[in-house]
Amino acid sequence: MSIGIGAAALLGVVEGITEFLPVSSTAHLKITESLLGLQTDDTSVVAFTAVIQVGAIAAVLVYFFGDIVRIVGAWFRGLTNAEARTDHDYRFAWWVIIATIPIVIVGLAAKPLIEGPLAGLWVVVASLVVGSGFMWWAERRGSHTRPEGEVTFADSFVVGVSQILALLFPGFSRSGASISTGLLRGLDRVAATRLSFFLSIPALTGAGLYELKDAVGGSIGVAPVLVGTAVSFVVAYVAIAWLLRFVSRHDFTSFILYRLALAVVVTGLLVTHSVSP
């Protein structure tokens, strides 16, 4: 199945806007693909959507470049210097690596399910609703008292594992699951959001590189992949900056309401056969 340049650019915009907002990029991409007449479970289409995530991840790397250089530098120093291992950045780097392992294992083991029975829009609708309930609960149960400097290994690991919810249930939202889990751990909204960003880097980069061969080597071609990835990078950079400002002043109620409205719209499209499930 082929994807035109225009469609690739549109999907790049959708990916860039929704990857880090707690509204589910997978849900929006699947809906957009269906409206474009693309087969959402086609191997090349699935690979394309995974690869253009790399553009969004590149935006994270650029936006947090200073933090990432500091953390990676501390990690390398700690590998050869015992004193450097007391640095919080050295430990945090290991926490991110370890917290990524569960989602990698589940992603590889459950790939047939993720790309098959769990890829349908009815699953997306159910996940949007359930994920909204989870976000609402976390927003109200979290104490919002712990800043980023108080993040622990347990926080990182639990938040990392929570990403599996979005992997298995498209519509749940990786950022929604991870930020909400951070809130349940007592982190404030900015700390939970920044932790979600850092944990997204290895998971999404790995997924994109793993699928690259199917996207470029399949029927889609190099040009649409490059366009979709470049567009997602630019749009995601703007979305990251906006989200961090937003969560410093507001709660997630508006996102929850939007997700529920989207679930209603998608249900209407499915019931009227405007899109295929």
Q: CA angle, corner 22, sides to 201 and 198, nearest 5?
A: 20
Measured N-to-C along each axis, helices 25-35 and 253-271 cross at an angle, to the nearest 10 degrees, of 30
End-to-end CA distance of the chain: 18
- pLDDT category at 45 given cuts 50, 70, 90 is confident
CB 33 within 8 A of CB 45: yes
Left (φ > 0), alpha (ψ -120 to 50) or beta: where does 275 sit?
Answer: beta
Residue-wise pLDDT tens digits, 53-106? 889 989 999 999 999 999 999 999 999 999 999 999 999 999 999 999 999 999
Q: How confident is the model at residue 215 (pLDDT cuts 50, 70, 90)?
A: low
pTM (two decimals): 0.90
Whole-angstrom CA distances from 128 to 46, 119, 266 are 20, 13, 10
Could you give the CA distance from residue 275 to residue 229 in angstroms, rounded to a whole number? 25
Residue 263 per-residue DSSP state: H
Count how many residues are written for the chain. Answer: 277
The Cβ of residue 117 has, within 10 Å, a number of other Cβ atoms equal to 10
What confidence score (pLDDT) does residue 27 get?
85
What pLDDT does 217 receive? 57
Give the integer Cα–Cα distance in Å for 49 and 56.
11
Q: Which two tokens stand for residue 110?
A: 């459950």
Amino acid present at 122: W
Average of pLDDT values for 113-140? 92
Helix, strand, coil abundance in the chain, percent, nearest 5: 80, 0, 20
pLDDT tens by residue, 175-206: 999 999 999 999 999 999 999 999 998 888 87
pLDDT the model gives residue 156: 97
CA separation, residue 190 to residues 41, 64, 236, 247 (Å): 35, 14, 18, 6
